[in-house]
Amino acid sequence: LSNILKAISFRDHLQFPLHPRLSTLGYSGNAHYDYPKDSDMMELFQCTKIQTNRYKMSLLKPSTKALALSCKVSVRTDSPGFLSLQYLVRNDDGQICFVEYYCCPDEEVE
């Protein structure tokens, strides 16, 4: 099981623009997921500098229930690394509501 989620905005090469990468780090190994800016999953990606933040999976786990119900997800970070997850959820009547979840970065992880 992974115990850390690492969010990175990075360049493959100096001539390429920044794009996001999510990595899970754990005792069983690591996995990396790259999301090109032109991906169908990506509506908007804005980043002016390379940034790396780590979050404990135990802190993110409570948000997975909202993720399972969501139609759309907005993921944002600020310069200190605070993570904001906003889930768009439709209820049984078709009304739209938003669930927001915030997580602070884990500064103790190396």
Domain range annotation of the chain: 2-103
pLDDT bracket for residue 46 (50, 70, 90): confident
- Given CATH 3.70.10.10, say whether it is the number of domain 2-103: yes
pLDDT of residue 72: 92
Beta-strand ranges (E) seen in 11-82 are 19-26, 29-34, 51-56, 70-77
Amino acid at residue number 48: T
Model pTM above 0.75:
yes
The fraction of the chain above a pLDDT of 70, given in percent, is 86
**pLDDT tens digit string along 15-36?**
456 778 888 888 888 888 888 7
Report which secondary-structure segment, H or E, holds 58. helix 57-60
Confirm if 45 and 20 have CB atoms less than 8 A apart. yes
Is the pLDDT confidence value at 75 over 70?
yes
